[in-house]
Amino acid sequence: MTENSTGKDITLRIAQQPEADALLGRSPLAALVGMLLDQQVPMEWAFTGPYTLAGRMGGDDLDAREIAAYDPEAFTELFTAKPALHRYPGAMATRVRQLCRFLVEEYDGEASAVWADAATGAELLK
């Protein structure tokens, strides 16, 4: 069980890897990146990606500002290193950087603010 930024305990079993699931439970950005990666790959692979990416970046969590500022070619290399983080590592590296740039510009880098800003699922989708 993990405590997230709201102080609530969250237990996730999406990635089916305890360390990756713990990161998803405590990091809104990791959960959001996992959702983004959940395209044309098994769900477990997609949601393990944020944990693997954090490790390749030398940390134990993801930071939207750091990713947004990362050199695009170097960031793509983090995705393409074996084992690749996604079936389409180059495209997904670009999308993750775009997501993080958006979070920095619109939400001061705070992924959790995406959910806080929407009162309904329809507003969140918009």
Instruction: Express each pLDDT in 25-40 by its tens digit.
Output: 999 999 999 999 999 9
The sign of the dihedral angle between the CA atoms of 21, 48, 125, 117 is: positive
Rounded-to-integer distance, Cα 94 and Cα 85, Å = 13
Residue 12 has pLDDT above 50, yes or no: yes
Mean pLDDT of 103-110: 96
Residue among 119, 118, 84, 114 at smallest CA distance from 99? 114
> Kindly report the CA angle at 115 between 14 and 104, in degrees rounded to 5?
100
Class at the top of the CATH hierarchy for domain 2-125: mainly alpha
Q: Percent of the chain having pLDDT more than 70?
A: 90
pTM comes to 0.85
The span from the CA of 13 to the CA of 106, in Å, is 30
